[in-house]
Structures are given as structure tokens and as C-alpha cells.
């Protein structure tokens, strides 16, 4: 009788453990699906905002606390466009041309930065890893890590659209960039999960 009770309890605990694992796995899968859907929605909104010059869509996507603008030049200021740019700006400052006015400098133009939009298929984008180190760094120091992520991509006349995902999935980046003669050039739109939604938090332009 005691042996039967022991066997019954053992089976009960085993089944409960399996159910718990299944529930955990299902929960993880559900979160993964939700994140994937959020990434697809955010990238799609960004694509529409830029290609259609839709300021309202852009403002809904941008982090209301500010979007960090980074513009770095690999060889001087290129045409006297001013010093390198690194500043947090109010997304509401954006103009109908999808430009941010910059004092004493050429405006920061998102449409010029991302010329391969609209995105045909977010799911079809090549997805490359981005070092977790960036998750603790300022956006204006990301250059070497972005370059490392893109090593091995082909040089071409067009900047191939690519998705970069930081190791801990803190950041998702839409990139139109390439490495030419060991120099990284291109544009990067950085998204972060804020209160369950992906928000545009930074724009990085490397020339």
C-alpha cells in the first residue's frame, strides 16, 4: 500500500513538473512572438514614415523623451557641414521634410540617410548580432561595434538594409550601411523596448 502511494506521488510530481515546463516554454514562445510582432510593426512604421514623409507616424514611433542624433565624419567635415553632431533632441522639432534643424550646420535629414526605404519585407531582412557592450554605452561610441556587426557583408552600389539585434535584445537597429575600404558608412535607426513598445531612441549617421 505504501509503495502504491509513493508511486502515485512520484507520478503526480513528474506530471506537474512537465506541465510547468510546458507552461514556461509556452510563455517564452509567446513573448518571443510578441517581440517579433513589435519589431515588425516598428520597422514597418519607420519605413512608412520616412518613405511617405509622414511626420505624425514618426512622432508616434519616436521616444517622447527625445531622440539622440549622432553624425560622424570619417574624413573631416565633408563640405564644411560643421563639427560632428551628438545631441538629444525633441522629436517634435522635426520638419515636414523629415529633417531636424541643427544650429550652424546642415539639417539632419532622415530621408537622405535612409534611401532604400520602403522596406519590402521586414521578415526578409538579414539579421546580425550586435555586441551586448553597446547596451551600456552612449550612442556616439557605437561605431566600432556597428562595424564589427557588418564585417563580411558585401560591398555594393546600394546600402543593403540589415537588422541588428543586441545580444540581450535591448536594442533593435535598422541599418543601411556598408564597409568600404575598411571604413563603415551608412545610417542606423536604433529602437529600444519602452513600456512594451519599440520606440525610436537614436539615429546614427556615419559618413
Which domains does the chain carry? 31-206 (3.10.450)
Task: For residues 181 and 163, give the distance between their C-alpha atoms in angstroms, rounded to a whole number.
Answer: 22
Q: What are the pLDDT digits (tens) for 126-140? A: 899 999 999 999 999
* Position 11 pLDDT exceeds 50: no
Does the pTM surpass 0.85? The reply is no
Question: What pLDDT was estimated at residue 182?
Answer: 85
Torsion of CA 35, 172, 48, 63, to 10 degrees: 90
8 Å CB contact between 82 and 106: yes
Neighbours of 7 (CB within 10 A): 10
Amino acid at each position: 500500500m505504501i509503495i502504491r502511494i509513493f508511486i502515485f506521488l512520484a507520478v503526480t510530481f513528474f506530471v506537474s513538473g512537465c506541465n510547468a515546463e510546458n507552461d514556461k516554454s509556452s510563455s517564452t514562445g509567446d513573448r518571443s512572438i510578441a517581440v517579433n510582432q513589435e519589431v515588425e510593426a516598428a520597422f514597418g512604421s519607420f519605413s512608412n514614415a520616412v518613405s511617405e514623409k509622414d511626420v505624425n507616424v514618426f512622432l508616434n514611433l519616436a521616444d517622447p523623451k527625445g531622440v539622440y542624433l549622432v553624425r560622424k565624419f570619417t574624413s573631416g567635415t565633408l563640405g564644411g557641414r560643421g563639427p560632428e553632431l551628438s545631441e538629444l533632441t525633441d522629436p517634435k522639432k522635426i520638419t515636414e521634410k523629415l529633417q531636424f534643424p541643427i544650429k550652424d550646420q546642415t539639417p539632419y535629414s532622415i530621408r537622405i540617410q535612409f534611401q532604400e526605404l520602403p522596406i519590402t519585407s521586414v521578415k526578409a531582412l538579414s539579421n546580425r548580432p550586435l555586441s551586448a557592450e553597446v547596451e551600456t554605452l552612449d550612442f556616439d561610441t557605437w561605431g566600432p561595434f556597428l562595424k564589427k556587426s557588418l564585417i563580411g557583408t558585401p560591398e555594393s552600389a546600394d546600402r543593403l538594409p540589415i537588422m541588428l539585434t543586441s545580444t540581450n535584445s535591448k536594442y533593435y537597429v535598422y541599418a543601411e550601411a556598408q564597409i568600404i575600404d575598411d571604413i563603415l558608412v551608412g545610417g542606423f535607426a536604433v529602437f529600444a523596448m519602452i513600456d512594451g513598445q519599440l520606440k525610436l531612441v537614436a539615429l546614427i549617421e556615419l559618413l
